């Protein structure tokens, strides 16, 4: 079996590498182009009114993508609406209800735990604090616990790093407390994002991820998920069915301003 | 290597044409997806130019493949993943089996991956006593039925809801239904347990990003996210050409791929995976292995005539417009790669003589090039393959094929070389055609080897006087 | 008197031997537009059937003959998109490794025009003053439409024919399944495709299917005739020459 060196040598040979045919020197971009700088500036200087416009675009594109866009825009109303979803929706498997959410400051501020609609339904958090206290729980044990909670839940609640208006695309990076499976395994995915996380299009998202110094420091992480709508399939006679493997429903709430 | 059955092209094509279920499925597929894709191209915010620009991105990536793969491998290592290089299909399978042994894997869930079909991975895993579940709904149906996919993106398009209903009730023990949502739910339920209990998830890679060290996977069902999030080991297979240099290029390419594949602005789920879950993350796999596969691709890379083929991102847009695919479906191509892309890739990967009918069995109408998000010139490469079949080619180990046809064309060339000879030939033809059966002034039956024409068609006979003769008469008559 | 522009006919072999009236109509239209028409009667075939089947040596011999015959012609006009595609694009593939020949075929390719392209793009004429009483549907041939990007031109010329009703068929730009030797070698696939095409033509309600390539039209006519359909095939030159049928 060939190793890496021989494998790459085969390719270099196929490419006819040599003094006459060196690799291009401009393959990787090392500084933002003027166009990209302009995109970054546009994002930074976006006014609240422009953000409201982006919210309007999402409202339009949500329908065709089968996303349930909810009009509530303050924490209290959003919490109430989530409470009603928990109360009114049926669990996908069995009869017991259970809900799981990310350990995320915005979601904590919703204070969902105090909702009357919960009515005894357990609300789990995929918290990151447990492992910080390494003496109590090991990382593996914590992962087992998170997995059990997620598998048992019919609703998963997350936020997102960004929300792209043109395609209603959520960008979520894996982080401590932000389990990837919360947006994936439960039948219903509820997302709450601040208006300031809205971007106009995918180009803005990619430009930000690539050139913004703060984003560069975090990087894409080991898993960046872009989610545009609930799970769907057309594999049987091209008939669109939602909820193939991921969530059947995606409920979207956008908090006005910074949600304070 | 998985066996190809491309030699059966004509036979299987005949069966497909005679299958009304398949015909209506193909018609429905092409009438929906073909125009949807074109419509998105027409409305690209960047304009049609984006497709040419994106072709350039791919071409540059291919021309610098050595550098990009080195960079990708270094970055994946930095992110805690392991990278393996497989020169052949056997190497790729062996690497995967060794990983499975190390982690004591008993059950595997798979996201759709063409390259694993190419190398015959499922069979090898099953031989090793490992349970393999395809999780894309279409692939799952095909696996239950023991069949082969007919379409790159919609593998089970040839099966009706009734057939799937019977298949599920037989194999899954669910009550018979022909309601697609219920059938989808039955599959969701059956596969959910597989996702929860699998020890290894296998995925393909749509397009890796060298500068960040991530692979990307795209799906609409969420099965690939499940396969790459829940099991403790994630193994990703990647054809060595499926890579691009940087994020900005990838943005354009993923969008174009989604347009070509499903008439979408962007696939429902796009995941960038750069390594195993970090220690302090609360889920994700413990181990990430990337297997980069050559298996004949470096040979394509070395030949300038076919290098363009490595730009292909396997979106399947060409299948959704190809008139021939629209009649014969995917099975006739006899390999994992079907349609116009398969007609070029299969001969190059599996041997030109083994897939000779794939090279010659198209009309060269150019619909594939028009539909390709990257405007890859498949007709040009089909012509190049045909030339190899005619003349033979030691570099590609092609034996000349169709010697009779070649002799006919050589004789034809002698005839057309001189108008006098040609006129004589036409005169004989004009006389002889009178003994052929006719209908309303047309020829109803032609002799071998032209008889194929007149199975269902007539042919206009040769005119009593050619235009050239009429022109001479006219010029002669001029004052 | 002003000297007339001169055009040289490059006649597709199918037209020359089976549909000579098409070339005659083309001559009528071109002369009607005030052109001096010339035709080298030594011409036979551009080599496309051989080229498409992979027999490049045969195709090269045909190309060399073509070059010898037409090298001194200032403007070459052909009633077939497919043949023009061969000369303009594929001759360059045949001689790609021979710079001297490549320059010659490039130059000749630039002077070779498809009939409707020549009238609309070169002469700037979209109305030739033709009249036709009937319902016509247009088949957009693949090589013409996709490889030469000629679609607007024939449609503009058709739209300006007096008294004629133009109806659009379903999938007008879809391949008819001809494909040269493909139609014989893979006759079952070819038949299935031309069957769809013919059904779409009949469903359009047209009396005539018109096109710019007798290769496709010969294929379509073959099935129309077998089905005993009253729909006729006509090259666009025949419509533009104002030759009303029946």
pLDDT per position as a tens digit, A220-244: 999 999 999 999 999 999 999 999 9
Tokens matching residue A54: 């982006």
Q: What's the whole-number average pLDDT of chain C?
A: 96
Q: How far A182 CA lies from chain B's nearest CA (Å)?
A: 10
Q: Are C61 and C83 within one domain?
A: yes
Q: Are C69 and C146 within one domain?
A: no
CB contacts < 8 Å between A and B, how many? 257
Residue carrying structure tokens 């929706």: A89
Q: Are C114 and C212 within one domain?
A: no
Residues in chain A closer than 8 A to B66 (CB atoms):
8, 11-12, 15, 17, 23
Q: Which of residues 220-239 of B touch A (CB under 8 A)?
A: 220-223, 225-226, 228-230
Determine, yes or no, domain membership for A188. Answer: yes
Lowest mean pLDDT among A142-151, B10-19, B29-38: A142-151
Residues in chain C closer than 8 A to B383 (CB atoms):
51-52, 54, 90, 93
Q: Are C100 and C139 within one domain?
A: no
What does the pLDDT look like over C133-162, one tens digit per residue?
A: 999 999 999 999 999 999 999 999 999 999
What percent of chain B is modeled with pLDDT above 70? 99
Nearest CA in chain B to A1: B91
Q: Are C52 and C69 within one domain?
A: yes
- Alpha-carbon distance of A5 to A234, in angstroms, equals 43
- Alpha-carbon distance of C56 to C92, in angstroms, equals 12
CA angle A17, A22, A28 (to 5 degrees): 120
CATH of the domain at C187: 3.40.50.11810
Determine, yes or no, domain membership for A239. Answer: yes
Determine, yes or no, domain membership for A23. Answer: no
Residues in chain B closer than 8 A to A166 (CB atoms):
265
Contact at 8 Å (CB) between B316 and B339? Answer: yes
What does the pLDDT look like over C173-204, one tens digit per residue?
A: 999 999 999 999 999 999 999 999 999 999 99
Q: What's the whole-number average pLDDT of chain B?
A: 96
Given C96, C120, C144, the domain boundary residue is C120
What domain range is C18 assigned to? 6-120
Give the model's pLDDT for residue A94: 86
CB neighbours of residue B179 within 10 Å: 14
Backbone angles phi, psi at B359, to 5 degrees: -75, -30
For residue B383, pLDDT beyond 60: yes
Q: What's the whole-number average pLDDT of chain A?
A: 93
Q: Are C112 and C76 within one domain?
A: yes
Contact at 8 Å (CB) between B461 and C20? Answer: no
Residue carrying structure tokens 């601040």: A194
- Alpha-carbon distance of B335 to B114, in angstroms, equals 10
Tokens matching residue B397: 């180990």
Determine, yes or no, domain membership for A202. Answer: yes
Residues in chain B closer than 8 A to C193 (CB atoms):
323-324, 327, 363
Contact B278 A174 (CB under 8 A): yes
Determine, yes or no, domain membership for A20. Answer: no
pTM for this predicted structure: 0.96
CATH of the domain at A158: 3.40.50.10420
Most C CBs within 10 Å, among B333, B413, B454, to test the C interface: B413
Determine, yes or no, domain membership for A7. Answer: no
- Alpha-carbon distance of B174 to B189, in angstroms, equals 10
Overall domain count for chain C? 2
- In chain B, the N- to C-terminal Cα span, in Å, equals 74
Determine, yes or no, domain membership for C236. Answer: yes
Tell me the average pLDDT across B251-257: 97
Residues in chain B closer than 8 A to A36 (CB atoms):
248
Residues in chain B closer than 8 A to C142 (CB atoms):
363-367
Q: Which of residues 94-153 of B touch A (CB under 8 A)?
A: 94-95, 135-138, 141
**For A156, what's the count of Cα atoms within 13 Å in the CB-facing half-sphere?**
29
Reported as a pLDDT band with limits 50, 70 and 90, residue B149 is confident
Determine, yes or no, domain membership for A142. Answer: yes
Determine, yes or no, domain membership for C245. Answer: no
What does the pLDDT look like over B435-476, one tens digit per residue?
A: 999 999 999 999 999 999 999 999 999 999 999 999 999 877
Please tell me whether residue B102 adopts helix, strand or coil conformation: helix
Q: Which helix (H) or strand (E) holds B339?
A: helix B339-350
Contact at 8 Å (CB) between C130 and C162? Answer: yes
Nearest by CB to residue B283, choosing from A146, A228, A234, is A146
Contact at 8 Å (CB) between B350 and B6? Answer: yes
CATH of the domain at C41: 3.40.50
Reported as a pLDDT band with limits 50, 70 and 90, residue A1 is low
Determine, yes or no, domain membership for C134. Answer: yes
Q: Are C112 and C168 within one domain?
A: no
Per the DSSP assignment, residues forming a β-bridge with A188 are A155, A249
Overall domain count for chain A? 1
Which domains are present in chain B?
6-298 (3.40.50.10420), 403-477 (no CATH)
Q: Are C18 and C111 within one domain?
A: yes
B283 lies within 8 A of chain A by CB:
yes
Residue carrying structure tokens 């392209």: C117
Determine, yes or no, domain membership for A167. Answer: yes
Contact C16 B387 (CB under 8 A): no
Tokens matching residue B416: 């057309």
Look at residues B214, B202, B292, B204 and name the one whose alpha carbon lies nearest to residue B250: B214
Contact at 8 Å (CB) between C189 and B324? Answer: yes
Max Cα–Cα distance, chain C, nearest Å: 58
Tell me the average pLDDT across B282-301: 97
Q: Which of residues 211-240 of B touch C (CB under 8 A)?
A: none
Q: Are C143 and C235 within one domain?
A: yes
For residue B123, pLDDT beyond 50: yes
What does the pLDDT look like over A88-136, one tens digit per residue?
A: 999 999 889 999 999 999 999 999 999 988 889 999 999 765 555 544 5
Residues in chain B closer than 8 A to C223 (CB atoms):
456-458
A195 Rama class: left (phi>0) / alpha (psi -120 to 50) / beta: alpha
Inter-residue long-range contacts of C148-153, CB under 8 Å, 24+ positions, other chains counted: C148/C81, C148/C84, C148/C85, C148/C88, C148/C114, C148/C117, C150/C81, C150/C114, C150/C116, C150/C117, C150/C212, C152/C120, C153/C116, C153/C117, C153/C119, C153/C120, C153/C121
Bigger pLDDT: C75 or B2? Answer: C75
Look at residues B203, B148, B142, B145 and name the one whose alpha carbon lies nearest to residue B4: B148
Q: Are C144 and C93 within one domain?
A: no
What domain range is A137 assigned to? 35-255
Look at residues A201, A200, A192 and name the one whose alpha carbon lies nearest to residue A252: A192
Q: Which helix (H) or strand (E) holds C37?
A: strand C36-38
Give the model's pLDDT for residue B277: 95
Q: Which of residues 148-187 of A touch B (CB under 8 A)?
A: 150-151, 166-167, 169, 174-181, 184-185
For residue C246, pLDDT beyond 50: no
Contact C178 B457 (CB under 8 A): no
What does the pLDDT look like over A183-223, one tens digit per residue?
A: 999 999 999 999 999 999 999 999 999 999 999 999 999 99
Determine, yes or no, domain membership for C146. Answer: yes
Q: Are C53 and C76 within one domain?
A: yes
Look at residues C106, C128, C107, C105 and name the one whose alpha carbon lies nearest to residue C116: C128
Q: How far A49 CA lies from chain B's nearest CA (Å)?
A: 23
Contact C193 B391 (CB under 8 A): no
Residue ranges in B64-176 assigned as alpha helix (H) = 65-78, 89-102, 114-118, 121-127, 137-145, 161-171
CB neighbours of residue A218 within 10 Å: 12
Contact at 8 Å (CB) between C227 and C191? Answer: no
Separation of CA B210 from chain center = 25
Lowest mean pLDDT among A2-6, A84-88, B86-90: A2-6
- Alpha-carbon distance of B413 to B221, in angstroms, equals 56
What does the pLDDT look like over A135-167, one tens digit per residue?
A: 456 677 778 889 999 999 999 999 999 999 999
CB neighbours of residue A123 within 10 Å: 18
Determine, yes or no, domain membership for C246. Answer: no
Contact at 8 Å (CB) between A10 and B298? Answer: yes
Q: Are C105 and C190 within one domain?
A: no
Given C120, C144, C160, the domain boundary residue is C120
Residues in chain A closer than 8 A to B160 (CB atoms):
237
Contact C191 B457 (CB under 8 A): yes
CA angle A190, A195, A201 (to 5 degrees): 90
B48 lies within 8 A of chain A by CB:
no
């Amino acid at each position: 079996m060939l190793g890496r060196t021989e494998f790459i040598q085969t390719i270099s040979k196929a490419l006819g590498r040599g003094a006459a045919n060196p690799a291009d020197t401009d393959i990787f971009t090392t500084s933002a182009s003027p166009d990209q700088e302009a995109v970054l500036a546009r994002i930074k200087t976006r006014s609240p009114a422009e953000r409201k416009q982006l919210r309007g675009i999402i409202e339009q594109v949500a329908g065709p993508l089968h996303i349930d866009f909810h009009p509530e825009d303050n924490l209290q109303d959003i919490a109430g609406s989530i409470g009603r979803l928990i109360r009114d929706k049926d669990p996908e498997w069995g009869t017991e209800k259970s809900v799981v959410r990310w350990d995320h400051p915005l979601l904590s501020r919703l204070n969902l735990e105090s909702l009357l609609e919960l009515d005894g339904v357990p609300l789990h958090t995929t918290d990151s604090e447990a492992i910080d206290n390494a003496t109590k729980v090991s990382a593996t044990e914590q992962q087992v616990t998170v997995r059990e909670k997620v598998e048992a839940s019919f609703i998963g609640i997350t936020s997102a790093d960004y929300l792209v208006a043109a395609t209603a695309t959520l960008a979520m990076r894996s982080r401590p407390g932000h389990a990837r499976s919360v947006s994936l395994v439960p039948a219903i995915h509820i997302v709450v994002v601040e208006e300031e996380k809205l971007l106009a299009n995918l180009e803005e998202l990619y430009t930000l991820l690539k050139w913004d110094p703060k984003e560069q420091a975090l990087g894409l992480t080991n898993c960046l998920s872009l989610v545009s709508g609930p799970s769907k399939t057309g594999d049987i006679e091209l008939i669109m069915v939602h909820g193939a493997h991921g969530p059947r429903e995606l409920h979207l709430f956008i908090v006005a301003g910074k949600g304070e | 290597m998985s066996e190809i059955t491309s030699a059966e092209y004509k036979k299987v094509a005949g069966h497909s044409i005679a299958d009304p279920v398949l015909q209506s499925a193909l018609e429905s597929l092409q009438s929906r997806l073909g125009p949807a894709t074109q419509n998105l191209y027409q409305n690209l915010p960047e304009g049609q130019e984006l497709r040419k620009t994106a072709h350039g991105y791919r071409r540059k990536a291919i021309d610098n493949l050595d550098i990009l793969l080195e960079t990708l491998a270094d970055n994946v290592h930095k992110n805690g993943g392991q990278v393996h290089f497989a020169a052949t299909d056997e190497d790729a399978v062996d690497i995967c089996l060794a990983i499975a042994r190390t982690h004591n894997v008993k059950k595997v869930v798979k996201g759709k991956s063409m390259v694993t079909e190419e190398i015959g991975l499922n069979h090898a895993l099953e031989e090793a006593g490992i349970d393999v579940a395809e999780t894309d709904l279409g692939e799952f149906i095909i696996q239950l039925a023991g069949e082969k996919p007919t379409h790159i993106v919609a593998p089970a398009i040839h099966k009706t809801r009734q057939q799937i209903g019977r298949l599920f009730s037989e194999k899954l023990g669910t009550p018979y239904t022909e309601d697609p949502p219920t059938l989808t739910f039955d599959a969701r339920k059956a596969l959910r347990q597989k996702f929860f209990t699998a020890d290894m998830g296998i995925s393909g890679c749509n397009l890796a990003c060298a500068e960040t060290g991530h692979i990307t996977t795209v799906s609409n069902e969420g099965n690939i996210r499940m396969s790459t999030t829940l099991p403790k080991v994630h193994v990703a297979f990647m054809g060595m050409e499926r890579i691009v240099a940087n994020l900005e290029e990838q943005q354009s390419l993923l969008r174009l791929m989604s347009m070509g594949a499903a008439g979408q602005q962007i696939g429902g789920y796009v995941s960038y995976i750069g390594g195993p879950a970090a220690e302090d993350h609360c889920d994700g796999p413990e181990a990430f292995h990337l297997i980069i596969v050559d298996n004949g691709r470096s040979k394509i890379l070395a030949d300038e005539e076919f290098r363009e083929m490595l730009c292909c991102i396997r979106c399947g847009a060409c299948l959704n417009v190809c008139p021939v695919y629209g009649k014969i479906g995917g099975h006739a191509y006899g390999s994992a790669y079907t349609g116009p892309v398969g007609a070029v890739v299969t001969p190059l990967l599996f041997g030109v003589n083994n897939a000779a009918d794939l090279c010659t069995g198209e009309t060269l109408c150019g619909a594939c090039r028009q539909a390709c998000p990257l405007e890859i010139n498949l007709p040009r490469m089909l012509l190049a393959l045909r030339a190899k079949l005619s003349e033979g080619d030691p570099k590609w180990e092609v034996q000349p094929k169709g010697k009779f046809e070649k002799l006919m064309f050589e004789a034809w060339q002698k005839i057309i070389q001189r108008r006098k000879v040609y006129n004589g030939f036409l005169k004989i033809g004009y006389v002889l055609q009178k003994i052929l059966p006719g209908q309303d002034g047309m020829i109803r039956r032609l002799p071998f080897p032209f008889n194929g024409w007149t199975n269902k068609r007539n042919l206009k006979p040769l005119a009593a006087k050619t235009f050239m003769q009429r022109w001479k008469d006219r010029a002669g008559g001029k004052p | 008197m002003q000297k007339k522009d001169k055009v040289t006919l490059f006649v597709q072999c199918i037209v020359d031997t089976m549909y000579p009236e098409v070339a005659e109509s083309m001559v009528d239209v071109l002369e009607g537009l005030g052109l001096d028409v010339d035709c080298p009667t030594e011409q036979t075939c551009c080599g496309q059937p051989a080229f498409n089947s992979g027999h490049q040596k045969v195709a090269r011999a045909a190309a060399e003959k073509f070059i010898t015959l037409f090298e001194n012609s200032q403007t070459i006009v052909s009633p077939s998109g497919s043949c023009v595609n061969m000369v303009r694009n594929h001759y360059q593939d045949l001689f790609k490794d021979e710079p001297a020949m490549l320059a010659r075929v490039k130059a000749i390719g630039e002077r070779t025009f498809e009939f409707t392209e020549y009238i609309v793009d070169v002469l700037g004429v979209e109305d030739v003053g033709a009249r036709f009483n009937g319902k016509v549907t247009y088949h957009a041939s693949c090589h013409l439409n996709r490889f030469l990007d000629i679609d607007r031109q024939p449609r503009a010329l058709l739209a300006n024919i007096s008294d004629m009703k133009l109806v659009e068929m379903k999938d007008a730009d879809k391949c008819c399944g001809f494909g040269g030797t493909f139609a014989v070698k893979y006759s079952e696939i070819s038949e299935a495709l031309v069957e769809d095409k013919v059904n779409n033509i009949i469903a359009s309600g047209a009396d005539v299917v018109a096109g710019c390539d007798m290769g496709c039209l010969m294929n379509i006519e073959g099935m129309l005739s077998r089905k005993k359909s009253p729909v006729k095939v006509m090259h666009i030159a025949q419509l533009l020459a104002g030759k009303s049928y029946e």
